[in-house]
Structure 1
Amino acid sequence: MSGATVPGGPAAERPVPGVLVAEPEDDLDAVRAADGRATAITALTPIKLGRTPLLRLLLVIGARVKMLREALETLSFIHYARWTIIKEFPYNGAPQRKEKLRYDYLFFETNFNGTWDEYIDAFSGVIPERMQAIWGFCVNFPGPRPVGPFKEYIHKNDLPIAHYYAAYPEATTTTVISALAVQDKLADFQARTVQLTDPEQFRRAYEEFLTDVQHHL
């Protein structure tokens, strides 16, 4: 990651330590990464002073309480999403300067299928309360609705990604999950039919197998 911008207000007085600042004229497409059908977003946002303990508690509760994860899990096009609190950047020796951050930062990283706009639209439309609960602790967060200012906020804090790799670039999350399910059911079918010698019994077993997996095909 080679650059970032931070939102206006107090946090905009200085660039994010340890990275370069993206110029306003930079093409926004340059800060997005894609491999086949998979796309990545990485954003770094300053947390309001004194709010880090509450945000940390919220993230812990959200990770452990299944009911709070269910809405996010229904968005099947999301491969992965994680929020992390950063209190310092590692010092790697000269010529890097040791720096003390004025703010703690919320680091967001995610992979998904579809376009950047569709992803933010889904967050705004399906789980706005969770987005408000998390980013509401951050400087200058405009709220998830209307979606226009929310997109602009993420744009401003979107970090350039030097390299992005997807193991199955032409597959969606749904197709990967379905392929794994078919693989397991096929193994079970083979185990149940390996000793069958009657063609009619095999035909019935095969039809049952196809019926069982048809929604994955």
Structure 2
Amino acid sequence: MTANTQTPSRPGLKEGKTSEFTLFFNVKPGHAQQIRDYLQGVDHDKRRALTDRIGTLHDLRWVLFDDDTRLLFASNFDGNWDAYIDDFAALIPDTFDAVLQHTEGYPGIKDPGIKDFVVAHQATACTYLRAAPDATITDIQKALRVNKTFQQLLDEAN
């Protein structure tokens, strides 16, 4: 008898090296303002530092909607779904706990059942299109650094 080592099927569309990730939560009654206050209270540099820690993250957004009764978390990432969730738990757990504690049924980012919770709240997009589907965020950042250096060389040559 061999152990099942297959990764379970995960929601979300993939194009090239990038996947879409969309979660919907019910906000606990009266808790929307705490979510808004937390998210708006984190300054831009701290938000950038948090997102830079997740080296596979292209972008993310939080949206309160339906008269502040629902919360959307949407992002795009490179690589494996399970590794992406593991990165949130390891690298920025406080952010997710600070926001999602205000949603119904949230067990905490370190809870052993967190991936099941995420899957239960994830919706797969009807369509997903990336401008550069084979470019990872690492590829894009490298290209930007190379271009900056090239532009500096051109400026110095003048």
State TM-score, norm by structure 1: 0.64
Aligned partner of 1:145 in structure 2 is 110
Aligned partner of 1:52 in structure 2 is 32
Q: For 1:183, which of 144, 147, 152 is the aligned residue?
A: 147
Percent of residue pairs identical:
24
Aligned partner of 2:57 in structure 1 is 78
**For residues 65 and 191 of structure 1, do their structure 2 counterparts lie closer, same or farther at Cα, with a shift above 3 Å needed?**
closer
Structure 2 counterparts to residues 52-201 of structure 1, below 5 A: 52-62=32-42, 64=43, 66-67=45-46, 69-88=48-67, 104-146=69-111, 148-193=112-157
State TM-score, norm by structure 2: 0.86
Which of the pair has more CA radius of gyration? 1
How big is the shift at 1:69? 4.5
How big is the shift at 1:192? 2.8
> Which amino acid in 1 is paired with 2:121?
N
> Which amino acid in 1 is paired with 2:96?
M
2:119 match: secondary structure? helix
How big is the shift at 1:150? 1.1
Indicate conservation of the 8 Å contact 2:54/2:88, yes or no: no
Point out which structure has higher relative CO (alpha carbons under 8 A, 6+ apart).
2
Structure 2 counterparts to residues 3-82 of structure 1, below 5 A: 28-29=9-10, 31-62=11-42, 64=43, 66-67=45-46, 69-82=48-61
C-alpha distance in 1, partners of 2:133/2:115? 25
Gaps (5+ residues) in structure 2? Answer: 1-7
RMSD: 1.9
Indicate conservation of the 8 Å contact 1:41/1:158, yes or no: yes
